[in-house]
A and B are shown apart, each in its own frame.
Chain A
Amino acid sequence: MKAGILTFPGSNCDKDLGNVLREFYGIEVEYLWHTSAFAIEHDLYFVPGGFSYGDYLRSGAMAAKAPSLKSLREASEKGRVITGICNGFQILTEAHLLPGALIRNDSLKHICEWVDLKGEGEFSFLPEDFALPVSHSEGNYLIDPDGLQSLEENQQIILRYRKNPNGSVADIAGIQSANGRIIGLMPHPERAFFPAMDYNQSLPIPGKTFLDRIFARV
């Protein structure tokens, strides 16, 4: 299996994600530099966290116009599984591959912490105490009432915060496209593979629990 990770000059979670994919899934990882189109020869794609081009305009707004995004759009038309994490989620909404938008946290502050999450639909198997780390300044998910209704009806909301940290509509932490092939997440599953010092190692690894289900779709 082979994963493609789109990278921009300001991406900074790309290496972490690639390392986790190689170490825990034993798959090949190719980094896809922003300046060129790429052939759709990967089994799945990731758009990682970071600050694409500095994000001084709206987060992801410029990245949505990058040459590599044209290829990603093509991959989506071919039904490849695409997962955007944090800045990757922002880029996917800016590119209209996912509905809605991500604006500044209501506290106007960056938040880096573990958050308790509730899985919905296909992810409702996640345990009661499921948590993943977030680290973002713009994770406040926004969508109009009709859009929200449509997300709810199509079971496109996959993760909700149990305690809303950023002001997101309907506590939304993660969504998917109507066909379930494109996933956008503010939490970072790749950061939840190395449990904290005191973490009981016999328990499931939260990041893996989550990503396993994404791999199952490939």
Chain B
Amino acid sequence: MNESLIDKEGTAEEAVKLGLFPYEYDRICEKLGRTPTFTELAMFSGMWSEHCSYKNSILLLKTLYSKSDRLLAKPGEENAGALRLNDKQAVVFKIESHNHPSAVEPYQGAATGVGGIMRDIFTMGARPLVSLNSLRFGHPEKSRNRYLLRQVVKGIGDYGNSLGIPVAGGELFFHESFSKNPLVNAMTVGIASVESMASARARGPGNLVVYVGARTGRDGIHGASFASKELSNESAEERSAVQVGDPFMEKLVMEATLEVIQKKLVVSIQDMGAAGLVSSSSEMAASGGVGIDLHTDRIPAREANMQPFEFLLSESQERMLIVVEPTKYAELKAVFTKWELEAAEIGAVTDTGLLQIFHLGELYASVPASLLAKDAPRYEREVKEPVLPQAENHEIRDFANALSQKNEASAKDILTAILSHVNIASKKPLFRQYDTDIGLMRKIGPGQNSGVYRVPDSNQALSVTVDGNSFYISISPYEGVLHTVAEARRNIISSGATPIGITNGLNYANPFRPENYYFFESTIRAMSHAAETFKLPITGGNVSFYNESEDGPVLPTPMIGMVGLIENHEDALPATASPITALYLVGQFLPVLSASQYAWILRESQGGPLPQIDLAEEEKSGELILRANALKLLQGATDLSNGGAMIAALRMIFGGREVLRNSLGLTLHGSFAQSEGADKLLFGETAHTYLVAVTAGKESDLLTLAETQKVPLQKFADVTDNGSLTIGSIKMDVADLQKAWETGLEKYFR
């Protein structure tokens, strides 16, 4: 040991207890040229955890496509990805997972997940514009699942509502594999002024290191390593590793942070997330090529007698670390005082490249910052293709039979079963609990294809979505990911926006099992391929492994977050229809029932193969939608996904009925009104396809445009004002169907 270090030695046994592998301990000793102190070992355990180091994913993540003329921050270099929107503004966006905390303490777990991703965004000097969330639970029939669902939704709502950031959308899916390990991913999209964006790179030896925000307590110690192992029956005991959120404090920190960045008072800034102070300080020092000396006894503490390692690893929320020039410190402190926040000078930037930890004048740790932040071991794990769900016989004729027998009751029962199923039903019981309007930027809120919110002080609007398809991935990950990216893109395009970038939240089980790693590796290859084809940069993302319980792994679930741009916000396209219009299917329509939600709901069949997907066809149909919208040929548009054309059409009608308070109806057209192959045509899932409501009098223009661009187009239905769904000679009341859709999920929230 270094003679000036006074701390006790960190032993190999201690290392294992802290979650490090023996060979990782050897690597630490080798790189340091000595054994580490206990404090140093604790620092390594946080920084070399999966959660902080991405040690089992980073090599593959580096291969992701990320080219764009708009790119301002390279993936991984700053807290979140940033893309230029116009001469003055940039969009900053990212996803973060909070799965394990939400499994044991759903309210705080979800709330602090929202808080964490908000800090990643405003740390860059961007004011959060909207947030989204992507959720997975076991079926809410079971009380534990229902409890997790309700508490997570409440946690997300309470935190975001108090902070005053609207929810623009999200997605939700239920499957038994998520029962003990729900997935809670949160995404935030913010707007920054390009000229005053903040950096996380520490610079300038002699500059001060300032701690601001909430006081440090012992909460969340080892949170990063808790997130980096499997959940077990004992996990409930680890509730103390879950942090507690204070959205009011976050609001103060946000306003003060944005103010000091805008006033150009900071050299660099980073929030304290996973692995708290050790993570923020070592990353800032390493990325700036400098050292930092910290004095933990100067940190505002909430509890007495805290040890250096506790200060370093605490994940107390709502805290930031700032590097400031000494001459600007007083002005910076004044801003924080105005917001009634503590700002404490706890150290300084040095030219040693070392992160040194002092406590009451004694040295507890002295480690190269880059060794902590950048030189964690990196592994590419073994890949083995697992046994994937086999193709099943998907000859379902239930709806065809009902139609051919003119059995209205039976047809209605099937439609009701699909519409009211938790994976299809209206998500309003969730987003009714979120403030969706605050900020007054909303053009289109949650519940449609994507959220569309105006860019403040500009004519532009952003379209934002997050999408995942756990079913498809579990059946065939490579094609499944192509589908997921393509569907997110269709969500953006059907709102009238041009997609500009991708972020992601990747959720899998233990990476040490080659069968699990197979899903991750396939995801990376497919996502990069799709991104390159669509010329969309992947600006960053989040990886969460170890999502499993003693019941087994969760369905592998990559969530794709996508941002699109509408130059003139007036061109935003809703997913609703109003009378009198016609609905057309646009794009190569190749519906199949295998892997569909229809087959799952009626037969509990989960097998493949997936629908065909051709990215060139995706580009063609997308291009047509954007052209048609520019020519004002469309009144509304939606993409086809779970539930197929029938559910897409009904949702457009439901949307129109809600807005206009009228009695819209739908009369299916041509082959769609016949019994032959009805199940597949109406409920089969397909790539490439949009359903559009044509502007009155513009049908022939749309047909001509589709012909010149060689995009298949077929009429699906007429929108009427008679309140009925008419399929051939069968008629049913749309109001009843709408009720089934609206109450399917709502009953679990009462």
Chain A residues within 8 Å of B, Cβ to Cβ? 9-10, 12-13, 15-16, 19-20, 50-51, 53-56, 109-113, 129, 133, 135, 137, 188, 190-191, 193-194, 196-199
Contacts and interface: CB of A to CB of B under 8 A. Distances in A.
Contacts of A190: 440
A165 B248 CA distance: 26
Contact of B164 (A50, A53, A197): A50
Contacts of A9: 248, 251-252, 255, 339-340
A109 B251 contact: no
Contact of A110 (B164, B434, B578): B434
Given A112-B432, A112-B433, 17 more contacts: A13-B438, A50-B164, A51-B162, A51-B247, A51-B251, A53-B248, A56-B248, A110-B158, A110-B432, A112-B436, A112-B437, A135-B435, A135-B437, A135-B438, A191-B437, A194-B442, A198-B656
Nearest to B150: A109
11 contacts: A9-B252, A9-B255, A9-B339, A19-B440, A51-B162, A51-B251, A53-B248, A56-B248, A133-B437, A135-B161, A135-B435
A54 B440 contact: no
Contacts of B434: 110, 112
Contacts of A199: 659
Interface string B660-674: 110000000000000
B439 interface: yes
A19 B438 CA distance: 13
A197 B246 contact: no
Given A54-B162, A198-B574, A12 B248 contact: no
Interface in B233-276: 246-249, 251-252, 255
Contacts of B576: 198
A199 B656 CA distance: 11
Contact of A54 (B247, B255, B435, B439): B247
Contact of B157 (A110, A113, A193): A110
Contacts of B572: 197
Contacts of B749: 109
B443 interface: yes
A48 to B, nearest CB: 11
B415 interface: no
Q: Which 7 A-B pairs have the closest CB atoms?
A: A54-B248, A12-B164, A198-B659, A110-B433, A135-B435, A51-B162, A197-B574
Nearest to B655: A198
A51 B158 CA distance: 11
Nearest to B340: A9
B286 interface: no
B164 A112 contact: no
A53 B248 CA distance: 7
A9 B335 CA distance: 13
Contacts of B162: 10, 12, 51, 54-55
A54 B434 CA distance: 17
B248 A194 contact: no
Contacts of A137: 158, 161
B111 interface: no
Contacts of B660: 198
B161 A110 contact: yes
Contacts of B252: 9
B322 interface: no
A199 B339 CA distance: 39
* Residue of A15, A20, A129, A198 ringed by the most chain B CB atoms within 10 A: A198
Nearest to A49: B438
* Residue of A16, A19, A55, A188 ringed by the most chain B CB atoms within 10 A: A16
A54 B246 contact: yes
Nearest to B570: A197
A198 B440 contact: no
Contacts of A188: 437
B436 A198 contact: no
A53 to B, nearest CB: 7
Contact of B433 (A13, A15, A111): A111
Contact of B163 (A12, A110, A193): A12
B664 to A, nearest CB: 12
A16 B434 CA distance: 17
A110 B150 CA distance: 12
B444 A111 contact: no
A44 B251 CA distance: 27
A140 B749 CA distance: 19
A112 B435 contact: yes
Interface string B555-579: 0000000000000000010101010
A50 to B, nearest CB: 7
Contacts of B438: 12-13, 16, 135, 191
B340 A113 contact: no
B136 interface: no
Nearest to B433: A110
Nearest to B162: A51
A133 B660 CA distance: 16
Contact of A109 (B154, B443, B656): B154
Interface string B334-375: 000001100000000000000000000000000000000000
B443 A197 contact: yes
Nearest to A13: B438
Contact of B659 (A50, A193, A196): A196
A198 B578 contact: yes
A51 B160 CA distance: 12
A19 B440 CA distance: 10
Contact of A16 (B158, B246, B340, B440): B440
B166 to A, nearest CB: 9
Nearest to A129: B661
* Residue of A15, A20, A129 ringed by the most chain B CB atoms within 10 A: A15
A12 B432 contact: no
A123 to B, nearest CB: 22
A15 B457 CA distance: 14
Nearest to A188: B437
Contacts of B661: 129
A63 to B, nearest CB: 12
Interface string B402-441: 0000000000000000000000000000011111111110
Nearest to A19: B440
Nearest to B249: A54
B248 A51 contact: yes
A129 B659 CA distance: 13
Contacts of B163: 12
A14 B158 CA distance: 19
Contact of B440 (A53, A112, A191): A191
Nearest to B436: A112
Contacts of A51: 162, 247-248, 251
Contacts of B339: 9
Contacts of B340: 9
Nearest to A165: B432
Nearest to B635: A198
Contacts of B246: 54
Contacts of A10: 162, 248, 251
A181 B578 CA distance: 43
Contacts of B249: 54
A55 B158 CA distance: 11
